[in-house]
Structure 1
Amino acid sequence: MLTVDFDRLGLRAGERVLDMGCGAGRHAFEMYRRGADVVAFDQDADELSGVRDLFVAMNEAGEVPVGAEADVKEGDALSLPFADGEFDRIVAAEVLEHIPADIQAIQELARVLRPGGTLAVSVPRWLPEVINWRLSEDYHNVPGGHIRIYTDKELAYKVTRAGLELVGKDYAHGLHSPYWWIKCAVGVKNDDHPLAKAYHRLLVWEIMKNPPVLRLAGKVLDPLIGKSMVLYFRKPDAA
């Protein structure tokens, strides 16, 4: 289930790309399939171990173009262990809302992006997230949970202050917002609630089969109640 539009990001085969806060690796895997030289970065060693294993399996299965490379790197988002301007493209999907010093993390992303390169940042969208927070403390009040709710203006301001230009905005996962509203209403850990189970089956159908009726529903719902907001930025060319 991808949040970032890689065509909009401008990703091309052979480019060096960073998935910062990669988690289980969903965006890193797609960039690898597209022939990029991928670094999956996270602070969770267990997650990175699984990502590395799947990188190897993808290569052995012939799922990636010849010459494409992928690796993992463990570290701190506030001090990225990379050179200035090292990456052509960067993805930071659903990670900044977890980081107390988000401005410092954004500055690091801007530092390691090359002039002319692009960055995609996704965070939970303001309205769906506000509803989740008001329905349930347990939704966000957990170790490593969400610590802030961004408006599009706040996120754009913080990233442009780091020297990048806003070039686009999108929304994704409109079908997922009602699921989380249900979960927050009945209990985020209450997976056996009939309504939550029924809606979960719908989302599994979407992810596994992506039928036309759900694609259409997504196109209608994404601009209205998409759970994720995606902002696209470009680093100005060097003078």
Structure 2
Amino acid sequence: MDTIELQRVARIENDNWWYRERRAILSRELLRYSVPGDAVDIGAGAGGNSKELAAHGWQATAIDLNPVAVALARAHGVEAYEGDARYLPLPSERYDMALAMDVLEHIEDDARAAAEITRVLRPGGTVLLSVPCDMALWSAHDVSLGRVRRYTRRALVDLLDGAGLLLDRVWSRGVLLRPPLRLLRHRSAHYEDLAPLHPFTNEALRLAAALERRLPIATWPGTCLFARAHRPG
């Protein structure tokens, strides 16, 4: 993510429905672990997810390629370092948890990045990640964010398998919002999710996301995919 987009995210992530929803998903996943451990947040941006990890008792380290992101994360009290997801400046078999939230879609050699995740995880360690799904949704929005792909469910599963990770679960989000978002993004060459939303719109989207959690539609096509996998051991 370039500096301009990063600064936009830093301004909106505390209130924006999507960043709040992503942290809520992370929070629910972390409740699976009774004993927190060491975690690395890869492509951490300003450190919002790292702070969520810390709030659940995890010892979090943030890694981002952008020095501005590292500075912002440190300003928020997060231990953060510059690093490329393909060549993580971290020891092998060190972490109990790795996050890669909306990261892999920005990397041409995503197989290398996935292999690095495996390398830094301890045997039995978990990775939680999210990616945008379905090239049918490709639009100027993806280009503006510097993405190089969107994933099918099969492609994501194959990527994790190729990295030596065992898949625990893969699920869709944004199922209810897929039709309107597809329409908006394809109708405009300048549609931008990172612009501040009107409070009414933001709340409506938040409620739609909350409703989706209660519906049995996690296998339906959505706008993004989440996956949880672990390193064998």
**Shorter-normalised TM range:** 0.7 to 0.9
- Residues 141, 190 of structure 2: 8 Å contact kept: no
Structure 1 residues 146 and 200: alpha-carbon distance in aligned structure 2, compared to 1, 3 A threshold: farther
- Percent of aligned pairs sharing the same letter: 27
1:204 aligned onto 2:199: no
| Structure 2 residue aligned with 1:110 | 118
User: 1:59-138 to 2 correspondence within 5 Å?
Assistant: 70-126=78-134, 129-131=135-137, 133=138, 136=139, 138=140
Would the aligned equivalents of 1:22 and 1:40 in 2 still touch at CA under 8 Å?
yes
Deviation at 1:157, TM superposition (A): 1.2
Task: Name the SS of the counterpart of 1:232 in structure 2.
Answer: strand
* C-alpha contact 1:175 1:218 (8 A) present in aligned 2: no
Counterpart of 1:62? none
State the shift of 1:75 in Å. 1.1
Q: Corresponding residue for 2:146? A: 145
- The answer to whether residue 39 in structure 2 is matched with residue 43 in structure 1 is no
* 2:210 aligned counterpart, secondary structure: helix
Q: Deviations over 1:116-137 (max 9, x none)?
A: 11111211122xx523x2xx4x
Instruction: Find out whether 1:226 has 2:225 as its counterpart.
Output: no
CA contact 1:174–1:218 (8 Å) conserved in 2 = no
Quote the Cα distance in structure 2 between the aligned partners of 1:26 and 1:179.
27
Compute the displacement of 1:188 (Å).
Answer: 4.7
**1:8 aligned to which of 18, 29, 42:** 29
Find the structure with the greater CA-based Rg.
1
Corresponding residue number in structure 2 for 1:64? none
TM-score by length of 2: 0.76
Structure-2 change in CA distance of 1:11 and 1:49 (3 Å): farther
After TM superposition, give the deviation of residue 236 of structure 1 in Å.
1.0
Structure 1 residue runs without a partner (length 5+):
56-69
Deviation of 1:38 (Å): 0.4
In the comparison of the two structures, how many residue pairs are matched?
A: 208
Amino acid aligned to 1:152:
R
Q: Against the structure 1 CA distance between its residues 175 and 40, is the aligned structure 2 distance closer, same or farther, given a 3 Å change threshold?
A: farther
Distance 1:156 1:37, change over 3 A: same
TM-score for both structures, normalised by structure 1? 0.75
Partner of 1:140: helix, strand, or coil? helix
